[in-house]
Amino acid sequence: MMKVRRFSTAALATVYVAAQIESLMTREAEPVLGLATGSTPINLYRQLVEFHHQGLSFSHVTTINLDEYVGLAADHPQSYRRFMDDHLFSQIDIPLANTFVPNGMAPNLDRECDRYDAIVNAHTIDLQILGIGRNGHIGFNEPDISLKTRTHVIDLTEDTIQANARFFSTEAEVPTRAITMGIQSILQAQSIFLMAFGRDKAWAVKRALSGEVSTEVPASFLQMHPNVTFVLDAEAAVALDDPRTPYPDQENLGSRL
Ligand code: PGA
């Protein structure tokens, strides 16, 4: 069942998701969180750090991240391990041994995917946080004629490379490959909260929520999960009200799908 929670602002939406995590953490003895990177969850992590300052302990929490760039070391400023350390792990009391992110520098990437799958399979993710790409990707499962179910190495699409170039000095520095959990790994979570803010995401949100399940819109596979909540600000929800509202680059995007 796809639930949709709409908020007037991203700040309100973020507080809602943070409260869901806090409630899970007080309910479960050993909660497992599936975490995402990108600009969308940054304020969520800020809110969790705030909860920690108010006394919430993460010492009993395990986290499993969705993805990592191939070729970036853990301490590279744009690696996702570094992102998680900076925005969350270094500011709370979680044991680092309980935090999992794929190793983008692994000498044998196939073996790294197997190792990560074993970690995913050994845990039940209670609550998975997802962002969504403007092309409908989740994790780094990019639109394609087929999707991989388990953890795998993927070539990033031009759209994603362009979207992520804002974090690097030049587009040429953006890695072209990533390790990502697969669609099936993501669907194994008990509950999923997909956060989407801004008009840029409106097309992907609408397409994921309604319409066919298609490998061209990986987020549409969430329709097959029993407990998914889309948490949206007003802008990301705009196409739900007005089916004619076009995605800003829809033509451009359409030509690639
Ligand atoms: P963003 O990325 O949060 O930076 O918009 C989301 C995603 O690409 O999954």
Q: How far apart are alpha carbons 163 and 185 in whole angstroms?
A: 25
Which residues on neighbouring strands pair with residue 177, listed in sequence order? 155
Strands, E, within the chain: which ranges? 2-7, 32-35, 62-65, 67-69, 99-100, 127-130, 152-155, 177-180, 191-196, 228-233
Q: Each residue of 63-118: pLDDT tens digit?
A: 999 999 999 999 999 999 999 999 999 999 999 999 999 999 999 999 999 999 99
Q: How far is the CA of 131 from the centre of ligand 1 (A)?
A: 5
* pLDDT of 242 over the 90 cut: no
Ligand 1, atom 8: closest residue by C-alpha: 133
Report the atom number in ligand 1 closest to the C-alpha of 164.
4
Q: How far is the CA of 160 from the centre of ligand 1 (A)?
A: 9
Residue 3: CB atoms within 10 Å: 10
* pLDDT of 253 over the 80 cut: no
Domains in the chain: boundaries:
2-241
Distances (CA, A) of 35 to 80, 84, 188, 210, 235: 11, 9, 14, 25, 23
List the CATH code of the domain at 2-241. 3.40.50.1360
